[in-house]
Amino acid sequence: MKSVLTTAITAADAAGRFPTNSDLESVQGSLQRSAARLEAAEKLSSNIDAVAQEAYDACIKKYSYLNNAGEANSTDTFKAKCLRDIKHYLRLVSYCLAVGGTGPLDEWGIAGQREVYRALGLPTAPYVEALTFARNRGCAPRDMSAQALVEYNALLDYVINSLS
């Protein structure tokens, strides 16, 4: 799994060199932010059901046509799957916060996602809306510290950009 440390070492190995001071400073910066990341992961994990449900509700409010017959959210099964997918992305964000890198998202959430959604005829805009809502709903200090919120938002932006 990719973390900031494995990424720095892999980049140095690919270039045929030892890690540079810049590589090590990047690792050190990530380690210094680890407490904030773990705080964000803990807060998200303890509220993941509520955050996912609010995000789902926000995306369905904006894209209400998805509830029409034959659309991507037209049956109870489809609704459950949509909520499940949103929760899956949030869980992966939580994992990324814990490991300090985008590895879980890259490996289990992003690789091939556009092709899967395209093959299934699912629009990605509602997922973008849901994750954008989850990002914008966060508030420091109500939900977490300012630095934890920065770490959380950065990973949500990463997912949102991959779906856009």
Mean pLDDT of 7-27: 90
Tokens encoding 43: 């807060």
Residue 32, φ and ψ in degrees, nearest 5: -65, -30
**Mean pLDDT, all residues of the chain:** 91
Model pTM score: 0.85
Tokens encoding 130: 């849901």
Mean pLDDT of 20-26: 90
Task: Transcribe 94-147 into DSSP letters.
Answer: HHHHHHTSSHHHIIIIITTHHHHHHHHT--SHHHHHHHHHHHHH--TTTTS-HH
Confidence (pLDDT) at 15: 93
Confidence (pLDDT) at 44: 96
